């Protein structure tokens, strides 16, 4: 039986105004993250709806409690990303409405036209991918978030600490409701390709508006950060595709465990991590 999943209510002190390049040293990585964030208010309600439907068929009380925790965490995630995305759109990016409309249409189509088993497999595929991304972000936190905006960095890292925490839920639901290896792998492949393709469309559009996309130096910076990311992701994604894969076998990163312990011990500053000391997991001293 897994430990209880904690639903946390976070506060992020957003900069006024928000800077799209919230990591000034890495504008391309900033826009990759921004593009991924645009999906969350559509992707995560779709996952929640899928798990609510699944919960009606679950008879195991422990798994039902895990699903409730999962729904609570994902609800918090998409609401926080909504706030962030509104601030991003307020900066004047003309491409954002079309990007959001495309994402909304995708997830409406999956929910309405695809089978329940497909939606379960997509949910598990996304969560398996998110687990690998969470480990990558924690491992690369200094390179990717060092000296970056504290609120945005804290949003992203909180989100993926919780993705790591609820890593077993969609896997267990798929197993309990008749999923099999082929469905699990198909869900991983489909969700990974879909999310990454939409994210690429997003960051390309944002970088075009920034005037960076067609600069050779910026394009090289995009490829360099993607190479850094995928060097960490690919071995883990391949392990997910093993027939005997179980997310319980994936040990949580120490930093993520310490984050949870700090929060659950009452630390109030985790929405504003000190990114000058991101390795040490130092919350900024909050103004009284």
* pLDDT tens digits, 104-133: 999 999 999 999 999 999 999 999 999 999
CATH topology for the 27-280 domain: Heme Oxygenase; Chain A (1.20.910)
* pLDDT tens digits, 32-72: 999 999 999 999 999 999 999 999 999 999 999 999 999 99
Residue 186 has pLDDT above 70, yes or no: yes
Confidence grade of residue 288 (pLDDT, cut at 50, 70, 90)? very low
Mean pLDDT of 152-158: 98
- pLDDT at position 287, please? 39
Confidence grade of residue 286 (pLDDT, cut at 50, 70, 90)? very low
What does the alpha-carbon distance between residue 2 and residue 23 come to, in Å, rounded to a whole number?
36
Three-state DSSP state, 273: strand
- pLDDT at position 4, please? 87
Q: Using alpha carbons, list the distances in angstroms from residue 96 to 3, 46, 92.
A: 39, 20, 9
Query: 91-119: string of b/e by CB count within 10 Å (b at 16+)?
Result: eebebbeebbeebbebbeebbeeeeebbb
Q: Which pair of tokens denotes residue 44? A: 């995560």
Degrees to nearest 5, angle at CA 32 with 202 and 226: 120
What does the alpha-carbon distance between residue 171 and residue 282 come to, in Å, rounded to a whole number?
33
**Are 41 and 80 a contacting pair, CB within 8 Å?**
no
Mean pLDDT of 247-269: 96
Mean pLDDT of 14-33: 97
Three-state DSSP state, 253: coil
- pLDDT at position 24, please? 97
Confidence grade of residue 2 (pLDDT, cut at 50, 70, 90)? low
Confidence grade of residue 239 (pLDDT, cut at 50, 70, 90)? very high
Other CB atoms within a 10 A radius of the CB of residue 153 amount to 25
Mean pLDDT of 202-224: 98
Angle 116-139/27-55 helices, nearest 10 degrees? 140
Mean pLDDT of 11-17: 94
**Are 12 and 22 a contacting pair, CB within 8 Å?**
no
Mean pLDDT of 161-181: 96
Residue 103 has pLDDT above 70, yes or no: yes
Mean pLDDT of 227-241: 96
Mean pLDDT of 217-229: 97
- pLDDT at position 3, please? 76
What does the alpha-carbon distance between residue 141 and residue 157 come to, in Å, rounded to a whole number?
9
């Amino acid at each position: 039986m897994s430990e209880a999943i904690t639903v946390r209510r976070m506060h992020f002190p957003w900069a006024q105004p928000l800077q799209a390049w919230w990591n000034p040293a890495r504008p391309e990585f900033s826009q990759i993250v921004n593009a991924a964030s645009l999906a969350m208010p559509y992707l995560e309600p779709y996952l929640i709806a899928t798990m609510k439907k699944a919960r009606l068929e679950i008879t195991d009380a422990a798994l039902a409690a895990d699903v409730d925790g999962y729904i609570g965490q994902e609800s918090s995630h998409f609401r926080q990303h909504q706030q962030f995305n509104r601030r991003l759109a307020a900066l004047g990016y003309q491409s954002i409405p079309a990007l959001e409309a495309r994402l909304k249409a995708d997830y409406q189509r999956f929910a309405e036209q695809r089978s329940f088993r497909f939606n379960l497999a997509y949910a598990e595929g996304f969560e398996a991918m998110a687990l690998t991304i969470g480990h990558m972000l924690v491992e690369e936190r200094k390179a990717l978030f060092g000296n970056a905006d504290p609120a945005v960095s804290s949003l992203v890292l909180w989100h993926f600490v919780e993705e790591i925490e609820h890593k077993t839920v969609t896997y267990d639901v798929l197993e309990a409701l008749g999923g099999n290896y082929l469905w699990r792998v198909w869900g991983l492949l489909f969700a990974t390709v879909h999310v990454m393709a939409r994210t690429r469309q997003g960051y390309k559009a944002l970088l075009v508006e920034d005037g960076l996309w067609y600069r050779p130096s910026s394009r090289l910076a995009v490829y360099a950060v993607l190479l850094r990311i995928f060097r960490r992701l690919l071995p883990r994604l391949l392990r997910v595709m093993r027939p005997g894969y179980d997310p319980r076998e994936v040990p949580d990163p120490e930093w993520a465990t310490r984050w949870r312990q700090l929060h659950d011990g009452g630390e109030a500053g985790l929405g504003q991590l000190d990114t000058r000391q991101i390795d040490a997991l130092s919350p900024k001293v909050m103004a009284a």
